[in-house]
């Protein structure tokens, strides 16, 4: 656990008692803060009380005595309307921050107290609309395989303050959502990574322009920034950082660059002083298949270079990465058919990388649809041999498909797997993919995307 000492003998209000909220409360208490914790769900409050964390209804506290409000990232800071705790804090002039901001302040203090440099306690921060988790997990894997002490957390699932305590030469690889960055004014990673930007969470950030500004904050504060230049919005941020003389390197999965890092199909290159060097091949690494994973791998390779880590067997440690659950994860191969779990693709943009990767696809799709449905995926329709529609979105998606390829109104995931298995087996192509990439939330039939992916794996293994 990382102990937060910066609020010793001070009152801190904490709202949102999920995993990160509880971890934050424990870190603050260990550092001597007086914590006033609360949540809008009374069953959560009672559960927290049972963990010896002081709870107090923040409607009734004296906010003039509060030093900070630590807000869970899932709680609205600005839009569609500031949460009631935010309004009370702002009225009292109380700063509003998140757990990653607490981590940064403690890291800064640790470095200063121990007379260490930034490189003695590296902090790698990753953001982007899509692909954050894979890049985060890949970098952490490579560091550990290179013999480094590396901790992974943030938006990927482990609360940042529950990671191992600061120690010289320990690395922290942190996935950052836009909600988390919004609560982190001092973000200052050793390496800051921006993968891509497309419209997302506009209901929480008000405008797309504001969403882009929040994403920029992470790389703007970085000692070295890595910015993808494959989409217009990220490219604009790269150019702004370059103009302002930031230490920034471009990365591209789509085009050859004169500096930075780029991919040509499965081959990864770095460029220095206009001289390109072939560094790594992703050919045959199933967990890093597809151009989106080329981008993830480029970012990881560049991070190793920036941190001056030179693994003896670079190809081997990349190949040893097995991938994240439910993110283009190969579950099984039956004959010429790959069975791929991409349940984490909960919107159209997230499904696009998987559809781009395979050429003969038996697509299991549907659930609780997001705004825009699958209209954005029409360019991939020629790759689809047949689709199996499930859940609430089935009829709407059938209308969007409108005869572009055969469909089955399967209804349930189990039936979809059985039908796709039969059809894929009869396909004469050299390789086909039975792909669960729903482009939808799971909540109509499953607790979450993980439960949906686990069900898919179980059905596939039972074939």
What pLDDT score was predicted for residue 199? 74
Residue-wise pLDDT tens digits, 364-399: 999 999 888 999 999 999 999 999 999 999 999 999
What pLDDT score was predicted for residue 130? 81
What pLDDT score was predicted for residue 205? 85
User: Quick check: do 11-97 and 102-320 share a fold?
Assistant: no
3-state secondary structure the chain: CCCCCCCCCCEEEEECCCHHHHHHHHHHHHCCCEEEEECCCHHHHHHHHCCCCCECCCCCCCHHHEEEEEECCCCCCCCCCCCHHHHHHHHCCCEEECHHHHHHHHHHHHHHHCCCCHHHCCEEEEECCCCHHHHHHHHHHHHHHCCCEEEEEECCCCCHHHCCCCCCCEEEEEECCHHHHHCCCCCCCCEEEECCCCCCCHHHHCCHHHHHHHHHHHHHCCCEEEEECCCHHHHHHHHHHHHCCCCEEEEECCCCCCCEEEEECCEEEEEECCEEEEEEECCCCHHHCCHHHHHHHHHHHHHHHHCCCCCCCHHHHHHCCCCCCCCCEEEEEECCEEEEECCCCCCHHHHHHHHHHCCCEEEEEECEECCCCCHHHHHHHHHEEEEEEECCCHHHHHHHHCCCCCEEEEECHHHHHHHHHHHHHHCCCCCEEEEECCCEECCCCCCCHHHHHHHHHHHHHCC
Residue-wise pLDDT tens digits, 147-185: 999 999 999 989 999 999 999 999 999 999 999 999 999
pLDDT confidence of 129, banded at 50, 70, 90?
confident
Question: Does the annotation place 373 within a ligand binding site?
Answer: no
Q: Thinking of the domain 102-320, which architecture would CATH place it in?
A: 3-Layer(aba) Sandwich (3.40)
Q: What is the pTM of this model?
A: 0.89
What pLDDT score was predicted for residue 458? 98
Question: Does the annotation place 275 within a ligand binding site?
Answer: no
Question: Does the annotation place 129 within a ligand binding site?
Answer: yes
Question: Does the annotation place 457 within a ligand binding site?
Answer: no
Asked if the model's pLDDT at residue 23 lies above 90, the reply is: yes
CATH of domain 11-97: 3.40.50.720
346-365 average pLDDT score? 94
CATH of domain 329-462: 3.90.190.20
Question: Does the annotation place 134 within a ligand binding site?
Answer: yes
Domain boundaries, the chain: 11-97, 102-320, 329-462
């Amino acid at each position: 656990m990382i102990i937060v000492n910066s609020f010793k003998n001070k009152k801190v209000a904490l709202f949102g008692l999920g995993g990160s909220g509880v971890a934050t409360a424990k870190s603050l208490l260990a550092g001597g803060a007086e914590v006033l914790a609360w949540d809008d769900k009374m069953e959560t409050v009672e559960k927290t009380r049972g963990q010896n964390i002081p709870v107090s209804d923040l409607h009734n506290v004296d906010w003039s005595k509060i030093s900070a409000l630590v807000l869970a990232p899932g709680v609205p800071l600005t839009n569609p309307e500031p949460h009631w705790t935010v309004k009370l804090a702002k009225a009292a002039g109380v700063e509003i921050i998140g757990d990653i901001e607490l981590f940064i302040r403690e890291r800064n203090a640790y470095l200063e107290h121990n007379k260490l440099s930034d490189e003695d306690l590296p902090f790698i921060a990753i953001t982007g609309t899509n692909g954050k988790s894979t890049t985060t997990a890949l970098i952490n894997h490579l560091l550990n395989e290179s013999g480094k002490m590396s901790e992974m957390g943030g938006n990927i699932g482990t609360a940042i303050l529950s990671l191992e305590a600061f120690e010289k030469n320990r690395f922290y690889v942190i996935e950052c959502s836009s909600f988390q960055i919004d609560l982190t004014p001092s973000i200052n990673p050793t390496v800051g990574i921006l993968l891509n930007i497309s419209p997302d969470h506009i209901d929480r950030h008000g405008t797309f322009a504001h969403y882009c500004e929040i994403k920029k904050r992470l790389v703007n504060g970085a000692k070295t920034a890595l910015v993808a230049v494959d989409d217009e919005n990220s490219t604009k941020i790269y150019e702004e950082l370059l103009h302002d003389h930031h230490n920034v390197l471009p990365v591209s999965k789509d085009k050859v660059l004169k500096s930075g890092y780029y991919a040509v199909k499965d081959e990864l290159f770095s460029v220095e002083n206009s001289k390109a060097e072939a560094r790594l091949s992703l050919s045959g690494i199933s967990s890093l298949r597809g151009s989106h994973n080329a981008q993830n791998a480029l970012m990881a390779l560049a991070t190793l270079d920036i941190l001056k880590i030179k693994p003896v067997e670079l190809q081997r440690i990349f190949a040893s990465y097995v991938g994240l659950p439910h993110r283009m994860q190969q579950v099984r191969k039956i004959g010429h058919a790959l069975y791929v779990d991409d349940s984490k693709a909960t919107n159209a943009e997230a499904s696009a990388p998987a559809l781009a990767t395979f050429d003969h696809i038996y697509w299991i799709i549907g659930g609780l649809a997001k705004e825009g449905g699958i209209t954005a995926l029409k360019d991939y329709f020629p790759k689809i041999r047949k689709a199996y529609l499930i859940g609430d979105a089935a009829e709407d998606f059938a209308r969007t498909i409108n005869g572009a390829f055969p469909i089955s109104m399967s209804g349930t995931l189990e039936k979809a797997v059985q039908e796709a298995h039969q059809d894929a087996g009869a396909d004469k192509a050299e390789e086909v993919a039975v792909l669960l990439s729903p482009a939808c939330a799971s909540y109509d039939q499953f607790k979450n995307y993980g439960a949906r992916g686990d069900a898919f794996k179980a059905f596939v293994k039972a074939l």
